[in-house]
Copies of this chain bind each other. A is one copy, B any other.
Amino acid sequence: MARAATTSDAFNAIAEPQRRDILALLRAGERPVTDLAQELGMSQPQASKHLRVLREVGLVQVRGAGRQRLYGLDARRLRPVHEWVGGFERFWNESFDRLDSYVQDLKQAQQEE
């Protein structure tokens, strides 16, 4: 069944590096498509496609301005992501000396074989 549609949730949307770049750029403010494409070194169609995904998951809002379409950040859907990942915070802070030393032991054991 292949991967869940990229368009389904924020986790999938930000799995793509170029889309992360777009979002990062948009923190500076709204931008037209061509602008983004150029700045990120991608073709205009590619930019449009990525923006479409971002729009569909609600990470971005569009606004028509003359012949241009200004895309703006809508980060609200990133909050659940942040919270989910944050649920692991204590695991990368606390108690990884244990894991680390365990991994070290493992490596040593392997070398000694």
| Chain A contact residues, CB within 8 Å of chain B | 3-4, 6, 11-12, 14-17, 20, 23-24, 27, 61, 63, 72-76, 78-79, 81-82, 84-89, 91-92, 96, 99, 102-103, 106
Cβ B3 vs Cβ A88 within 8 A? no
Q: Which residues of B contact A78 (CB under 8 A)?
A: 85, 88, 91-92
Complex Cα distance, B17 from A14, in Å, reads 14
Which of B6, B16, B17, B84 contacts A20 (CB under 8 A)? B84
Q: Which residues of B contact A23 (CB under 8 A)?
A: 88
Complex Cα distance, B2 from A15, in Å, reads 12
Question: Which secondary structure dominates chain A's binding surface?
Answer: helix
Taking the nearest CB of chain B, how far is it from the CB of A63, in angstroms? 8
Q: Which residues of B contact A88 (CB under 8 A)?
A: 23, 27, 73, 75, 78, 82
Which of B4, B79, B91 contacts A17 (CB under 8 A)? B4
Cβ A82 vs Cβ B75 within 8 A? no
Cβ B99 vs Cβ A61 within 8 A? yes
